[in-house]
Structure 1
Amino acid sequence: MDRSPALLLLLALALCEYGHGLSPDLKVKSPKDIAQLREGQRLELQCQTDRDSGAFWIRQDKSGTLHFIVFISSISRTTFSNDQKHSPRFEAGKDNKLYHLVVKSFTPQDEGSYFCMTIFNQMLFFSRGQPAFLPVTTTVAPTTSGPILKHGTTEDPNPKTPDPERRMQEDLDFSCHIFIWVPLAGACLLLLIALVITTVLCRRTRRRRCRCKR
Protein backbone atom coordinates (compact mmCIF):
# COMPACT_ATOMS: atom_id res chain seq x y z
CA MET A 1 0.00 0.00 0.00
CA ASP A 2 1.21 3.49 -0.87
CA ARG A 3 2.03 5.79 2.03
CA SER A 4 2.25 9.03 0.01
CA PRO A 5 -1.45 9.95 0.43
CA ALA A 6 -0.96 9.63 4.19
CA LEU A 7 1.18 12.77 4.22
CA LEU A 8 -1.55 14.74 2.50
CA LEU A 9 -4.08 13.41 4.95
CA LEU A 10 -1.99 14.47 7.93
CA LEU A 11 -1.65 17.99 6.51
CA ALA A 12 -5.38 18.19 5.97
CA LEU A 13 -6.40 17.04 9.46
CA ALA A 14 -6.45 20.63 10.70
CA LEU A 15 -9.26 21.44 8.26
CA CYS A 16 -11.48 18.82 9.86
CA GLU A 17 -12.12 20.96 12.95
CA TYR A 18 -13.98 23.61 10.93
CA GLY A 19 -16.68 21.34 9.64
CA HIS A 20 -18.31 19.96 12.78
CA GLY A 21 -21.60 21.69 12.07
CA LEU A 22 -21.79 20.35 8.53
CA SER A 23 -19.98 17.06 9.06
CA PRO A 24 -21.49 14.07 7.27
CA ASP A 25 -22.45 11.05 9.31
CA LEU A 26 -19.83 8.32 8.85
CA LYS A 27 -20.12 4.95 10.57
CA VAL A 28 -17.79 2.00 10.08
CA LYS A 29 -18.81 -1.47 11.15
CA SER A 30 -18.36 -5.10 10.25
CA PRO A 31 -21.33 -7.31 9.39
CA LYS A 32 -19.51 -10.20 11.11
CA ASP A 33 -17.99 -10.61 14.53
CA ILE A 34 -14.29 -9.79 14.24
CA ALA A 35 -13.48 -10.02 17.95
CA GLN A 36 -11.82 -13.39 17.28
CA LEU A 37 -10.27 -12.59 13.92
CA ARG A 38 -8.09 -15.36 12.51
CA GLU A 39 -5.20 -15.24 10.09
CA GLY A 40 -6.36 -16.06 6.56
CA GLN A 41 -9.97 -15.06 7.33
CA ARG A 42 -11.94 -12.55 5.22
CA LEU A 43 -12.41 -9.19 6.86
CA GLU A 44 -15.53 -7.34 5.71
CA LEU A 45 -16.09 -3.68 6.58
CA GLN A 46 -18.88 -1.26 5.75
CA CYS A 47 -18.89 2.53 5.74
CA GLN A 48 -22.34 4.05 6.04
CA THR A 49 -22.71 7.74 5.15
CA ASP A 50 -25.52 10.18 4.45
CA ARG A 51 -23.53 11.84 1.64
CA ASP A 52 -23.14 10.37 -1.81
CA SER A 53 -19.78 11.91 -2.61
CA GLY A 54 -17.43 8.94 -2.62
CA ALA A 55 -15.30 7.53 0.20
CA PHE A 56 -11.71 6.62 1.00
CA TRP A 57 -10.60 3.60 3.01
CA ILE A 58 -7.50 4.15 5.16
CA ARG A 59 -5.66 1.94 7.64
CA GLN A 60 -3.62 3.16 10.59
CA ASP A 61 -1.02 0.62 11.71
CA LYS A 62 0.34 0.05 15.22
CA SER A 63 3.02 2.70 14.77
CA GLY A 64 0.43 5.33 13.82
CA THR A 65 1.29 5.46 10.11
CA LEU A 66 -1.64 5.98 7.72
CA HIS A 67 -1.93 3.71 4.67
CA PHE A 68 -4.18 4.52 1.72
CA ILE A 69 -6.15 1.49 0.55
CA VAL A 70 -8.79 2.54 -1.98
CA PHE A 71 -11.03 5.36 -3.17
CA ILE A 72 -14.60 4.47 -4.14
CA SER A 73 -16.37 7.08 -6.23
CA SER A 74 -20.07 7.87 -6.14
CA ILE A 75 -20.51 5.78 -9.31
CA SER A 76 -18.75 2.73 -7.77
CA ARG A 77 -15.42 3.16 -9.51
CA THR A 78 -12.50 1.96 -7.41
CA THR A 79 -8.95 3.28 -7.42
CA PHE A 80 -6.40 1.39 -5.34
CA SER A 81 -2.82 2.39 -4.60
CA ASN A 82 -0.60 3.09 -7.60
CA ASP A 83 -3.77 4.04 -9.54
CA GLN A 84 -4.78 0.40 -9.94
CA LYS A 85 -8.42 -0.53 -10.55
CA HIS A 86 -8.00 -3.93 -8.90
CA SER A 87 -6.01 -5.30 -6.00
CA PRO A 88 -4.91 -8.87 -5.23
CA ARG A 89 -5.47 -8.25 -1.53
CA PHE A 90 -8.64 -6.14 -1.37
CA GLU A 91 -12.14 -5.91 -2.76
CA ALA A 92 -14.15 -2.68 -2.71
CA GLY A 93 -17.52 -1.50 -3.92
CA LYS A 94 -20.58 0.65 -3.29
CA ASP A 95 -24.17 -0.30 -2.57
CA ASN A 96 -26.48 2.73 -2.25
CA LYS A 97 -24.77 4.69 0.54
CA LEU A 98 -22.73 1.77 1.87
CA TYR A 99 -19.08 1.65 0.87
CA HIS A 100 -17.65 -1.86 1.26
CA LEU A 101 -14.07 -3.00 1.86
CA VAL A 102 -12.98 -6.63 2.02
CA VAL A 103 -9.55 -7.90 3.04
CA LYS A 104 -9.42 -11.20 1.18
CA SER A 105 -6.99 -12.98 3.49
CA PHE A 106 -6.20 -11.21 6.75
CA THR A 107 -2.53 -11.26 7.81
CA PRO A 108 -0.52 -9.55 10.57
CA GLN A 109 0.41 -6.94 7.95
CA ASP A 110 -3.28 -5.92 7.79
CA GLU A 111 -3.62 -5.28 11.53
CA GLY A 112 -4.62 -1.78 12.61
CA SER A 113 -7.58 0.59 12.76
CA TYR A 114 -9.63 1.11 9.60
CA PHE A 115 -11.14 4.50 8.81
CA CYS A 116 -13.60 5.74 6.24
CA MET A 117 -13.01 9.27 4.96
CA THR A 118 -15.00 11.56 2.71
CA ILE A 119 -14.55 15.06 1.31
CA PHE A 120 -17.36 17.57 1.74
CA ASN A 121 -17.19 21.33 1.13
CA GLN A 122 -13.45 20.97 0.50
CA MET A 123 -12.90 19.49 3.96
CA LEU A 124 -11.99 16.01 5.15
CA PHE A 125 -14.19 14.04 7.51
CA PHE A 126 -13.19 10.82 9.22
CA SER A 127 -15.21 8.07 10.78
CA ARG A 128 -14.32 6.42 14.05
CA GLY A 129 -11.65 3.77 13.70
CA GLN A 130 -12.63 0.12 13.49
CA PRO A 131 -9.86 -1.93 15.14
CA ALA A 132 -8.94 -5.23 13.51
CA PHE A 133 -6.26 -7.29 15.23
CA LEU A 134 -5.36 -10.93 15.53
CA PRO A 135 -5.71 -12.43 19.02
CA VAL A 136 -2.56 -12.28 21.11
CA THR A 137 -1.00 -15.70 21.63
CA THR A 138 0.44 -16.32 25.08
CA THR A 139 3.18 -18.86 25.69
CA VAL A 140 2.95 -21.05 28.79
CA ALA A 141 6.15 -21.23 30.80
CA PRO A 142 7.41 -24.79 31.38
CA THR A 143 6.68 -26.17 34.83
CA THR A 144 9.63 -27.11 37.00
CA SER A 145 9.55 -30.45 38.75
CA GLY A 146 9.98 -30.67 42.49
CA PRO A 147 12.86 -32.31 44.34
CA ILE A 148 13.50 -35.94 43.41
CA LEU A 149 13.34 -38.51 46.20
CA LYS A 150 16.01 -41.21 46.17
CA HIS A 151 16.04 -43.81 48.95
CA GLY A 152 14.29 -41.50 51.36
CA THR A 153 16.53 -38.50 50.66
CA THR A 154 15.48 -35.21 49.11
CA GLU A 155 17.67 -33.62 46.48
CA ASP A 156 17.87 -29.87 46.45
CA PRO A 157 16.64 -28.59 43.03
CA ASN A 158 18.98 -25.60 43.39
CA PRO A 159 22.32 -26.96 44.62
CA LYS A 160 24.70 -24.37 45.95
CA THR A 161 28.24 -24.16 44.69
CA PRO A 162 30.89 -24.38 47.44
CA ASP A 163 32.44 -21.14 48.56
CA PRO A 164 36.25 -21.31 48.01
CA GLU A 165 37.01 -18.97 50.93
CA ARG A 166 34.84 -21.01 53.25
CA ARG A 167 36.50 -24.18 52.03
CA MET A 168 39.98 -22.74 52.72
CA GLN A 169 38.91 -21.67 56.20
CA GLU A 170 37.65 -25.17 56.94
CA ASP A 171 40.99 -26.65 55.81
CA LEU A 172 42.90 -24.27 58.08
CA ASP A 173 40.66 -25.13 61.02
CA PHE A 174 41.25 -28.82 60.36
CA SER A 175 45.04 -28.30 60.30
CA CYS A 176 44.91 -26.37 63.56
CA HIS A 177 42.92 -29.15 65.16
CA ILE A 178 45.56 -31.67 64.09
CA PHE A 179 48.43 -29.62 65.57
CA ILE A 180 46.56 -29.20 68.85
CA TRP A 181 45.01 -32.60 69.41
CA VAL A 182 47.88 -34.84 68.26
CA PRO A 183 50.35 -33.58 70.95
CA LEU A 184 47.60 -33.73 73.57
CA ALA A 185 46.78 -37.28 72.60
CA GLY A 186 50.51 -38.20 72.78
CA ALA A 187 50.84 -36.60 76.21
CA CYS A 188 47.79 -38.46 77.46
CA LEU A 189 49.24 -41.70 76.17
CA LEU A 190 52.55 -41.07 77.99
CA LEU A 191 50.68 -40.26 81.20
CA LEU A 192 48.71 -43.46 80.86
CA ILE A 193 51.91 -45.49 80.38
CA ALA A 194 53.52 -43.79 83.38
CA LEU A 195 50.44 -44.50 85.45
CA VAL A 196 50.54 -48.18 84.52
CA ILE A 197 54.26 -48.45 85.35
CA THR A 198 53.74 -46.70 88.69
CA THR A 199 50.88 -49.03 89.57
CA VAL A 200 52.96 -52.12 88.77
CA LEU A 201 55.91 -50.89 90.83
CA CYS A 202 53.69 -50.08 93.78
CA ARG A 203 52.26 -53.59 93.78
CA ARG A 204 55.74 -55.18 93.77
CA THR A 205 56.85 -52.98 96.67
CA ARG A 206 53.84 -53.99 98.75
CA ARG A 207 54.51 -57.68 98.16
CA ARG A 208 58.10 -57.36 99.36
CA ARG A 209 57.02 -55.60 102.53
CA CYS A 210 54.49 -58.32 103.25
CA ARG A 211 57.15 -61.05 102.95
CA CYS A 212 59.53 -59.24 105.29
CA LYS A 213 56.93 -59.06 108.07
CA ARG A 214 56.55 -62.83 108.06
Structure 2
Amino acid sequence: MAGSPALLLLLAMGLCEYGLTEFRDSRLTHPQVGQRLELECVTPKEDSGVFWVRLDKGGTLHFIVFISSLARATFEGNHKTSTHFEAKKVGSSYQLVVKSFTPQDEGNYFCLMNSNQALYFSPRQPAFFPVTTTAAAPTTPTPTTQHGITKKDPCLKTPDPETSKEKELNFFCDIFIWVPLAGTCLLLLTALAVTVILCQQTRRRRCRCKR
Protein backbone atom coordinates (compact mmCIF):
# COMPACT_ATOMS: atom_id res chain seq x y z
CA MET A 1 0.00 0.00 0.00
CA ALA A 2 1.53 3.30 -1.03
CA GLY A 3 1.69 5.93 1.68
CA SER A 4 0.14 9.38 1.28
CA PRO A 5 2.42 12.46 1.20
CA ALA A 6 0.81 13.76 4.41
CA LEU A 7 1.66 10.57 6.31
CA LEU A 8 5.21 10.58 4.97
CA LEU A 9 5.53 14.20 6.07
CA LEU A 10 4.42 13.29 9.59
CA LEU A 11 6.95 10.48 9.71
CA ALA A 12 9.72 12.78 8.50
CA MET A 13 8.89 15.61 10.93
CA GLY A 14 8.56 13.31 13.93
CA LEU A 15 5.08 14.57 14.96
CA CYS A 16 2.81 12.51 17.22
CA GLU A 17 5.59 10.11 18.08
CA TYR A 18 4.95 7.60 20.83
CA GLY A 19 5.94 4.20 22.13
CA LEU A 20 8.95 2.14 21.20
CA THR A 21 9.70 -0.14 18.25
CA GLU A 22 12.69 -2.46 18.46
CA PHE A 23 14.02 -5.92 17.76
CA ARG A 24 12.98 -8.38 20.44
CA ASP A 25 16.55 -9.71 20.40
CA SER A 26 18.57 -6.73 21.65
CA ARG A 27 21.78 -8.33 20.33
CA LEU A 28 20.51 -8.22 16.76
CA THR A 29 21.77 -5.33 14.62
CA HIS A 30 21.27 -6.61 11.07
CA PRO A 31 19.05 -9.51 9.97
CA GLN A 32 20.37 -12.26 7.73
CA VAL A 33 18.76 -13.93 4.73
CA GLY A 34 16.21 -16.52 5.84
CA GLN A 35 16.42 -15.43 9.48
CA ARG A 36 13.34 -15.22 11.71
CA LEU A 37 12.97 -11.54 12.58
CA GLU A 38 10.89 -10.52 15.61
CA LEU A 39 9.80 -6.89 16.10
CA GLU A 40 8.08 -5.45 19.14
CA CYS A 41 6.04 -2.28 19.58
CA VAL A 42 5.27 -1.14 23.13
CA THR A 43 2.42 1.37 23.66
CA PRO A 44 2.48 3.47 26.84
CA LYS A 45 -1.22 4.43 26.66
CA GLU A 46 -4.58 2.87 25.99
CA ASP A 47 -5.20 2.19 22.34
CA SER A 48 -7.67 0.60 20.00
CA GLY A 49 -5.10 -1.42 18.11
CA VAL A 50 -1.88 -1.03 16.16
CA PHE A 51 -0.99 -1.01 12.47
CA TRP A 52 2.36 -2.41 11.39
CA VAL A 53 3.77 -0.75 8.25
CA ARG A 54 7.08 -0.82 6.40
CA LEU A 55 8.72 2.07 4.56
CA ASP A 56 10.89 0.62 1.77
CA LYS A 57 14.01 2.11 0.21
CA GLY A 58 11.95 3.84 -2.47
CA GLY A 59 9.87 5.76 0.10
CA THR A 60 6.69 3.67 -0.32
CA LEU A 61 4.66 2.59 2.72
CA HIS A 62 3.45 -1.02 2.80
CA PHE A 63 0.67 -2.16 5.10
CA ILE A 64 1.51 -5.42 6.87
CA VAL A 65 -1.08 -6.13 9.57
CA PHE A 66 -3.56 -4.58 11.98
CA ILE A 67 -3.60 -6.01 15.51
CA SER A 68 -6.67 -5.07 17.54
CA SER A 69 -6.69 -4.49 21.28
CA LEU A 70 -8.30 -7.95 21.55
CA ALA A 71 -5.20 -9.50 19.86
CA ARG A 72 -6.99 -10.19 16.57
CA ALA A 73 -4.78 -9.85 13.51
CA THR A 74 -5.91 -8.76 10.05
CA PHE A 75 -3.32 -8.97 7.29
CA GLU A 76 -3.30 -7.41 3.84
CA GLY A 77 -6.27 -8.50 1.76
CA ASN A 78 -8.41 -8.89 4.91
CA HIS A 79 -6.77 -12.25 5.65
CA LYS A 80 -6.64 -13.62 9.18
CA THR A 81 -3.35 -15.44 8.64
CA SER A 82 -0.22 -14.93 6.55
CA THR A 83 2.37 -17.33 5.18
CA HIS A 84 5.14 -14.75 5.62
CA PHE A 85 4.21 -12.91 8.84
CA GLU A 86 3.00 -13.63 12.35
CA ALA A 87 1.30 -11.10 14.63
CA LYS A 88 0.20 -11.20 18.26
CA LYS A 89 -0.43 -9.02 21.32
CA VAL A 90 1.06 -9.72 24.74
CA GLY A 91 0.00 -7.15 27.35
CA SER A 92 0.90 -3.73 25.98
CA SER A 93 3.35 -5.25 23.48
CA TYR A 94 2.34 -5.68 19.84
CA GLN A 95 4.66 -8.14 18.14
CA LEU A 96 5.37 -8.71 14.45
CA VAL A 97 7.37 -11.69 13.20
CA VAL A 98 8.90 -12.03 9.74
CA LYS A 99 9.18 -15.80 9.36
CA SER A 100 11.98 -15.74 6.77
CA PHE A 101 13.65 -12.41 6.09
CA THR A 102 14.22 -11.64 2.39
CA PRO A 103 15.55 -8.64 0.45
CA GLN A 104 11.92 -7.58 -0.16
CA ASP A 105 11.50 -7.18 3.63
CA GLU A 106 14.24 -4.58 3.99
CA GLY A 107 13.11 -1.15 5.17
CA ASN A 108 12.08 0.90 8.19
CA TYR A 109 9.32 -0.60 10.33
CA PHE A 110 6.74 1.49 12.23
CA CYS A 111 3.68 0.77 14.32
CA LEU A 112 0.81 3.28 14.00
CA MET A 113 -2.06 3.91 16.41
CA ASN A 114 -5.20 6.02 16.21
CA SER A 115 -6.19 7.37 19.61
CA ASN A 116 -8.69 10.18 20.33
CA GLN A 117 -8.80 11.08 16.63
CA ALA A 118 -5.02 11.58 16.59
CA LEU A 119 -2.47 9.54 14.71
CA TYR A 120 0.53 8.33 16.66
CA PHE A 121 3.49 6.41 15.34
CA SER A 122 6.55 4.83 16.88
CA PRO A 123 10.17 5.64 16.09
CA ARG A 124 11.42 3.74 13.07
CA GLN A 125 13.21 0.44 13.41
CA PRO A 126 15.55 -0.10 10.43
CA ALA A 127 15.95 -3.66 9.19
CA PHE A 128 18.59 -3.93 6.49
CA PHE A 129 21.19 -6.48 5.53
CA PRO A 130 24.75 -5.70 6.65
CA VAL A 131 26.73 -3.73 4.12
CA THR A 132 29.44 -5.86 2.54
CA THR A 133 32.54 -4.07 1.32
CA THR A 134 34.73 -5.70 -1.30
CA ALA A 135 38.43 -4.97 -1.21
CA ALA A 136 39.74 -3.38 -4.37
CA ALA A 137 42.18 -5.48 -6.32
CA PRO A 138 45.72 -4.12 -6.21
CA THR A 139 46.69 -2.36 -9.39
CA THR A 140 50.03 -3.22 -10.91
CA PRO A 141 51.84 -0.31 -12.56
CA THR A 142 52.28 -0.71 -16.28
CA PRO A 143 55.90 -0.78 -17.39
CA THR A 144 57.03 2.31 -19.22
CA THR A 145 58.90 1.82 -22.45
CA GLN A 146 61.69 4.17 -23.46
CA HIS A 147 62.21 4.61 -27.16
CA GLY A 148 65.64 5.07 -28.68
CA ILE A 149 67.52 3.50 -25.75
CA THR A 150 68.79 -0.05 -25.97
CA LYS A 151 70.29 -1.81 -23.00
CA LYS A 152 72.67 -4.71 -23.21
CA ASP A 153 71.99 -7.80 -21.20
CA PRO A 154 74.97 -8.36 -18.88
CA CYS A 155 74.41 -12.12 -19.11
CA LEU A 156 74.99 -12.15 -22.86
CA LYS A 157 78.70 -12.44 -23.68
CA THR A 158 80.39 -12.44 -27.07
CA PRO A 159 82.39 -15.62 -27.72
CA ASP A 160 86.16 -15.28 -27.35
CA PRO A 161 88.02 -16.50 -30.50
CA GLU A 162 90.93 -17.88 -28.43
CA THR A 163 88.66 -20.05 -26.27
CA SER A 164 86.88 -21.40 -29.37
CA LYS A 165 90.22 -22.44 -30.91
CA GLU A 166 91.22 -24.12 -27.67
CA LYS A 167 87.99 -26.13 -27.65
CA GLU A 168 88.62 -27.30 -31.24
CA LEU A 169 92.14 -28.47 -30.36
CA ASN A 170 90.85 -30.37 -27.35
CA PHE A 171 88.24 -32.05 -29.53
CA PHE A 172 90.86 -33.28 -32.05
CA CYS A 173 93.13 -34.47 -29.24
CA ASP A 174 90.27 -36.49 -27.79
CA ILE A 175 89.69 -38.12 -31.18
CA PHE A 176 93.37 -39.11 -31.61
CA ILE A 177 93.49 -40.60 -28.12
CA TRP A 178 90.16 -42.40 -27.84
CA VAL A 179 89.88 -43.87 -31.36
CA PRO A 180 93.11 -45.97 -31.18
CA LEU A 181 92.29 -46.98 -27.63
CA ALA A 182 88.84 -48.17 -28.66
CA GLY A 183 90.35 -50.15 -31.59
CA THR A 184 92.86 -51.85 -29.29
CA CYS A 185 90.11 -52.86 -26.88
CA LEU A 186 88.09 -54.31 -29.74
CA LEU A 187 91.07 -56.42 -30.94
CA LEU A 188 91.68 -57.74 -27.43
CA LEU A 189 88.03 -58.75 -27.08
CA THR A 190 88.16 -60.54 -30.46
CA ALA A 191 91.35 -62.44 -29.52
CA LEU A 192 89.83 -63.42 -26.19
CA ALA A 193 86.71 -64.76 -27.88
CA VAL A 194 88.79 -66.82 -30.37
CA THR A 195 90.91 -68.25 -27.55
CA VAL A 196 87.83 -69.33 -25.59
CA ILE A 197 86.36 -71.08 -28.65
CA LEU A 198 89.62 -72.98 -29.39
CA CYS A 199 89.92 -74.13 -25.78
CA GLN A 200 86.42 -75.56 -25.83
CA GLN A 201 87.13 -77.49 -29.05
CA THR A 202 90.34 -79.08 -27.70
CA ARG A 203 88.55 -80.19 -24.52
CA ARG A 204 85.86 -81.96 -26.53
CA ARG A 205 88.49 -83.85 -28.58
CA ARG A 206 90.30 -85.05 -25.46
CA CYS A 207 87.08 -86.29 -23.93
CA ARG A 208 86.29 -88.38 -27.04
CA CYS A 209 89.76 -89.96 -27.12
CA LYS A 210 89.50 -91.19 -23.51
CA ARG A 211 86.24 -93.00 -24.27
Q: Shared fold (TM-score greater than 0.5)?
A: yes
Change (3 A) 1:125 1:26: same
Which one of the candidate residues 19, 28, 31 is aligned to 2:21?
28
TM-superposed deviation, 1:15: 8.5
Q: TM-score, normalised by structure 2?
A: 0.60
1:118 & 1:104 partners in 2: Cα distance?
24
TM-superposed deviation, 1:12: 5.5
1:46 and 2:31 correspond: no
Partner of 1:122: 117
RMSD value over aligned CA atoms? 2.6
Contact 1:92 1:101 in 2 (8 A): yes
The 3-state SS of whatever aligns with 2:77 is helix
Change (3 A) 1:160 1:108: farther
1:136 & 1:118 partners in 2: Cα distance?
32
The 3-state SS of whatever aligns with 1:45 is strand
What aligned pairs does 1:1-214 form with structure 2 within 5 A after superposition? 3-4=1-2, 6-7=3-4, 10-11=5-6, 25-32=18-25, 33-49=27-43, 50-145=45-140, 157-159=142-144
TM-superposed deviation, 1:94: 0.4
TM-superposed deviation, 1:121: 1.1
Give unpaired runs (5+ residues) of structure 2: 149-211
The 3-state SS of whatever aligns with 2:104 is helix
State the identity %.
Answer: 49
1:74 & 1:111 partners in 2: Cα distance?
27
1:74 & 1:117 partners in 2: Cα distance?
13
Name the count of aligned residue pairs: 143
4+ residue segments displaced more than 6 Å: 13-16
Query: Which one has a bigger Cα radius of gyration?
Result: 2
Q: TM-score, normalised by structure 1?
A: 0.59
